[in-house]
């Protein structure tokens, strides 16, 4: 069962997720080392591979605000994190879909570090507190892209299907 490994408040900027001073590093294979670099305890845990894939970061409203840097999503995708937020900045949400980062909009989410969550398409159940929260579904096309692993993988699948090779 996925566990909350980090909680944040509202208005988490892309600079907090992937600081601008690392913009010279843009390769998705290299960006993960800088995830939440200024949150040194969490960054150290990520780099030491102490955070299992599928772990959850919970945030408030307007997650990913600020710049349009794609690296903010790729750095999180590199750790295979799931992000549950009360809301997202529009560009961050699109970048996340394009890269296949699992993002869930849950306006009333209430969870803390260490809580275990059960996530479905319609709700997030906090198994630690016994509370359940409704999910705002992403548009089907956007969810299909995420489920495929990102826009490139989605396009590849569609082309293979179209040409009868899938």
Compute the distance between CA of residue 46 and CA of residue 110 in angstroms, rounded to an integer. 23
Give the whole-angstrom CA distance, residue 20 versus residue 139: 30
The separation between CA 39 and the C-alpha centre of its own chain, rounded to angstroms, equals 17
Give the pLDDT score at 164: 80
Q: What's the rounded Cα separation, in Å, for the pair 20 and 100?
A: 22
Say which range, 13-17, 112-116, 157-161, has the weakest mean pLDDT. Answer: 157-161
Q: pLDDT over 90 for what percent of the chain?
A: 89
Q: Quickly state the pLDDT bin for 166 (edges 50, 70, 90).
A: low
Q: CA-CA distance, 1 to 16, in Å (whole number)?
A: 27
pLDDT of residue 135: 98
Q: How far apart are CA 99 and CA 71, in angstroms?
A: 10
pTM of the model: 0.94
Provide the 8-state DSSP code for 21. Answer: G
pLDDT in tens, 76-119: 999 999 999 999 999 999 999 999 999 999 999 999 999 999 99
What confidence score (pLDDT) does residue 138 get? 94
Range in 16-25, 57-66, 133-142 with the lowest mean pLDDT: 16-25
Pairing of strands 131-134, 123-126: antiparallel
What CATH topology corresponds to 4-137?
Aconitase; domain 4 (3.20.19)
pLDDT at position 26 over 80:
no
Characterise 36 by phi-psi region: left (phi > 0), alpha (psi -120 to 50), beta (else): left
> What number of H helices and E strands is found in the chain?
6, 7
Q: How confident is the model at residue 25 (pLDDT cuts 50, 70, 90)?
A: confident
Residue spans of the domains in the chain: they are 4-137
Q: What is the pLDDT of residue 165?
A: 72
For range 64-79, the mean pLDDT: 93
CB 142 within 8 A of CB 128: no
């Amino acid at each position: 069962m996925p566990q909350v490994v980090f909680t944040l408040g509202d208005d988490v900027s892309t600079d907090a997720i992937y600081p601008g001073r690392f913009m010279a590093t843009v390769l998705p294979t290299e960006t993960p080392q800088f995830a939440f670099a200024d949150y040194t305890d969490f960054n150290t845990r990520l780099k030491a591979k102490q955070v299992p894939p599928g772990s959850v970061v919970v945030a408030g409203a307007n997650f990913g605000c600020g710049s349009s840097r794609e690296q903010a999503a790729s750095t999180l995708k590199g750790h295979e994190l799931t992000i549950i937020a009360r809301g997202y900045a529009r560009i961050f949400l699109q970048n996340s879909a394009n890269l296949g980062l699992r993002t869930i909009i849950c306006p009333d989410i209430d969870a803390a570090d260490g809580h275990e969550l059960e996530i479905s398409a319609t709700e997030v159940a906090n198994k630690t507190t016994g509370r359940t929260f409704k999910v705002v579904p992403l548009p089907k096309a956007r969810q299909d892209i995420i489920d495929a692993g990102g826009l490139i993988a989605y396009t590849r699948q569609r082309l293979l299907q179209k040409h009868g090779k899938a």
